[in-house]
Structure 1
Amino acid sequence: MAAKRKIYLDYNATTPVDVRVVDTMLPYFTEKFGNASSDHVFGWDTGEAVENAREQIAGLLNCKPSGITFTSGATEAANLALFGFCERNQSKGNQIITCKNEHKAILDTMNALEKKGFEVTYLNVDIEGNIDLKELEQAVTSRTILVCLMMANNETGLIHPMNDIEKIVHSKKAKLMSDITQAVGKIPIDLKKLNLDLAIFSSHKIYGPKGVGALYINKKNKVDINPHFFGGGQEKGMRPGTMNVPGIVGFGKAVEIAFSEMEGESARILKLKNKLENDLKNIEGAIINSEACDRLPNTTNISFENIDGNSLLRKLNNLAISRGSACTSNTIQASHVLKAMGLSDELALSSFRISLGRDTSIEDIEIAVKEINKTVNQLKRAMV
């Protein structure tokens, strides 16, 4: 009997590196291998490649290249931004505002800042995952130095109204940071119009290499952060150390491709997602989380009532779907995102994220729906 084809439906966790990105990176492993900080022709060549990638990314996000600092990923960028900004501005106040369904990279850093004496206010979310803008407005005080809210949720795909949030935050003289990792390459982003003060994002979510990301600092808004790493002075002292030139070059190419193909690809994937959700909703007890909200075109989060999530996941062993964030899915615990939305532990543990990508086909969707439908019904019959 032929083995079942494995289907990858976890593109919010990571993506395969685009072949065009790999081709762009390859020379920087062998021919153009110089240290970008070296003062000779080998270093000049790689240094120029780094700056070209910085300009690519800045141009597509509509910000100044000088505002982009390369990091090892969005998690490191989050740590640099939050610790660096809050410690730099502690004399102005000690309150930070975020919300309960942020990524763990943000929440764990907030926890560390609380231990350093900062006061963190965690905004509630409603059953769909939305924050209350009035609650945000009331929460910002003269002691608030930073509001940190993600643009798009990594588990539900919900998109926060960043333009409205920006107006509230800046009218109160606070600064605004956003994790835009899941949004980059999926929806239009114009950092100049958004007027964010700090932003973080990563390469491997957009078919670029792992191990490289970026921190955006809006110098026009007079935002400065304290450095947390020392030695070498690279990246204006914010992220010293020998630069990952192949990764940075690949990052630049991945952003270029993502933005050039975004409109058509997002429309194609949205059609697939709509079919997926319409078909899955026919399963008794299926609930699409955040269904009524503005969401990423590729992301579905679905709960199955009265189903053991562990059993369902094990039986769907040819489908790569996720029970929450990839950063925490190695621990069997209810998603903090879904619990913040009011789901019980039991229902949250029988909830799954399905995220589509460039290689997802209509055949993949049809097979996935068939397998999920069959397995859910099998589990229900076993409970009778």
Structure 2
Amino acid sequence: MRATAAVLRAPGGRFSIEPVILDALRENEVLVRIVASGICHTDLSAREQLLPLRLPAVLGHEGSGVVEAVGAKVTSVRPGDHVVTSFDFCGDCDSCRDCHVAYCQHAPRLNFSGVRRDGTGVVHDEQRSVLSARFLGQSSFASHANVSESSVVRIDRDVPLELMGPLGCGMQTGAGTVLNVLKPRPGSSIAILGAGSVGFAALMAARIAGCETIIAVDINDARLTLARELGATDTFNALSGDPVEFVRIATKGRGVHSSVECTGLPAVLRQAVDVLAPRGTCALVGVAHPRADAAINMASMLRGRTLVGVTEGDVVPRTFIPQMIEWWREGRFPFDRLVRYFEFARIDEAVAACASGEVVKPVVRMGGG
């Protein structure tokens, strides 16, 4: 079928709104009419070619929309269902069978190769040239997306569909990292370094977990003000001094039980480890440059500290996304405070707002419902 997509044709370039052709559905695939899509820093990394995605490509991986058609073997959704789209996984490897689908053995091919697992294209331009698609299982910068059944999560119809897309990546990454991996005890302390969408999700999850001390570190005062409104007990602008010393003072010299590194910057990762108390755990979620290395003081790790890398919050989207929606309904996960909407034709403005930090979570609306 014919659709419209924002096509990236050159590294760091602008997006071109173009007509495209979607391949016919296979038996395990779902056609989703995209209503809206969040913009994530991972999209920016792909645009700059820090992620190895062949161009030209259709990006986008925080989609929400309506199912229009399903393949013969699809059982979890049907036409008319409202869905959030998320990353793809095989469902059969050791990680998937253990319910750690973010670490699927085939994740790189399913989410970053630009084609199906069998090597065939999903999206073509009008000249019938294959465009890289299925970006993180979706390529939601489009009016429609042809995705695997494993990439769709059915949600209730009474929630605002255009708001829900960010739950499919940034929100589940931050919240899942805290609640599934760090698992802080009530009354414990946590430091979150980087107040972007992932950091804010981690902050809100820390409140849900009952953390008593929640420290947010960033270089943007407006974001730190918002962090205090959303539950941070302490905030610190890293341009004004040493975050490690600030955390030590704020915790009376003890350090924090856990930390979340959201920037992907080696120096910040070192800080995120150095703020830990003995036996503390740092979760690394920031997407770094492929050749980035960080220096960690080895002696300090002998204090029982742990450093763990986390992808997509180690969540199973089909259960975790509905849980986040319930927290949102209850007022405990107000991620809507991070969102600003842009129409699809203004996608370059939305991307620029994300890159500059002007907007925490830009969301582009495709129009037509």
User: Under TM normalisation by the shorter chain, which class is it?
Assistant: 0.3 to 0.5
Return the TM-score normalized by structure 1.
0.34
Larger Rg: 1
Structure with the bigger percentage of strand: 2
TM-score normalized with structure 2 length: 0.35
> Which structure has more helix as a fraction of its residues?
1
